[in-house]
Structure 1
Amino acid sequence: MGIFDFFKRKKEENDEIALDEALNIKEINEGEFNGQMNSEEVNENTFNYNFVIDHVEEYHNTKELSPEELKSLITGEILKVVDKSQNFDSMELYSKEAAKEIGIENISALTEFLYGGISKPSYLKGRYNGLGAWPTAVKNAVLTILYSFNEYSVDELLKIANDKSANSIKAVNLLCKMAAKGIEEDKIIDSIIYIMDNFSDENILSTLGFLSQVKNNNKVLKTLEVYFKKYIYDNNIESAYDITLSMINNVGTFTREQLIFLKAVALSDEVLELSLILKDEDGEFDLSSVSEDLRLKAALSFYSLHDKDEEINSKLLYLRDNSLDIELRKYLTEILG
């Protein structure tokens, strides 16, 4: 059988990709190959919030504070978070401490620091020196403190998500993490689905990835399915690939059609029948212009789900032994042996 013959055949019981039952999977994480981020050099687009929410505690501050005293309090707490946060885990810890000091009553005042900023103190000289690193660090600290207020900051984060600033997509990420923990889930999902229509194409794709964190939510899955179909009909194969991973991570299982799609992206450069990947749909999708980088990612994603396919394994083994990219060869040696 030729390397692409599988895609030319109709679905049969004995096809090479036969799924007797859906298999549980772990999150597909391409970041493992791309390396780890330096926590002080994260930029506006790469900062990731990976915290566990505790929505039992309520943080109050009922003291009578003048505007100057409140500004000093909030500034000091933000700087503590920036100073002491060497990694994402420590940022969570110090953000919770900051939320306790600031109090629910002062959430709006805290948010103002997303737009006004703070001057870098002398004791942080030598840190956060990259282009935009300091204002980004301050904004990240403000957002993580807001996140620590749990359900009490949902409305504030929704305002930020909808203000079309550089902070919007970060707020969406945090809101989705809250929803994934059952905090204001319906309100958050309905709001994000509504406001994302106004996002840029890049931020829509990021938002769909964040939404996939909210498991067992029919609205989320339906939204992912709608966008997958849209990207396929637009022949936007790269975005369709990203949404495929989001759907798999959301449900925790994969379908036969999704596996076929990943294999097709990895190996085929032909025009294939749409019914292979979308049930009862007529038409075609064109894989002739798929980049080699995307083909590699699709092959790795396929392998993480189904590591017994001869053609996918052959492609990865060839790259392991012959790629000019030394880091790729090392990575493939680790996963393939």
Structure 2
Amino acid sequence: MQDTFRAFVVNRTEDTWSADIKTLTAAELPEGNVTVRVAYSSVNYKDAMAASPNNKVVKAYPMVPGIDLAGTVAESSDARFKPGDPVIATGYELGISHWGGYSELVRMPADWLVPLPSGLSLREAMALGTAGFTAALSIHRLEQNGLTPGSGPVLVTGASGGVGSLAVAMLTGLGYEVAASTGKDAEHDYLRQLGAGQILHRSELTPDAIPPLQRQRWAGAVDAVGGKTLAFVLGTVRYGGSVAVSGVTGGADVATTVYPFILRGVNLLGIDSVYCPMDTRLALWKRLAGDLKPKGLLEGISQEITLDELPKTLERTLGGTGKGRTIVKLSER
């Protein structure tokens, strides 16, 4: 195993803040029984937050951000994994309380690792990453609560972002009629290419006054926004429909009433990709290599950068200027 490696490290002391690419030694790796040589990571909004000086998400310093990674096992003391095995890791507070994917080498507990399923490359796995897993988990929970392609149109909010883009593509691939909401007029063609049959400006979902019940429009919704948008969507879901919520870019507070729930039987489904049980995690990654794998994943939805390009990309992500998915290439292996 290599003696030194490069990583993007953020650090805070009482008087200073730094966010730099550093050369580290294997002795500096955190505890764990599996060491992974990282091939790819990805860029997520939480990563951009972790790389900003006033963030409240990082729980210990110094920290290597990156909530996703895919690579091959370099060393293992766990019988489930051997050197050379391709693996994925997402969630479990990677990049928040345990060093994450923006590093050529990582070490972690074997219990956090998912074997790369047949049908996915390491690069494709990171084009999906936590965003793709969250989209898949949202669809899975909607289906558990009765949603089928024949139920009616499905709304996706925050549709030009990572979770939203992948949800649009996955739902389309499954045969659903998809409506996409975005505040970015320039991304309408992009969303149509992903399969959206209808596009709404986000202002349509955030009027000044939101009645608790409105015209029933959607059989279900994937909401990556929260806040006022979620309050509006709840009042427009059809009887017995569900909303899977995973984001807070529109705010954490939701001003709503009980009426969508007690008069229309609407279900509000919380989507947690961090601590999702491993049996569900394994099943969904298998689906992400199969029926949920979006068309054009590498060509139309994602773009690739190097570790050296990462700091500027994180700044743009925090400013909300990105779309789709950004893959970070760490090594050739």
Taking structure 2 as the reference length, the TM-score comes to 0.26
Higher strand share: 2
Taking structure 1 as the reference length, the TM-score comes to 0.26
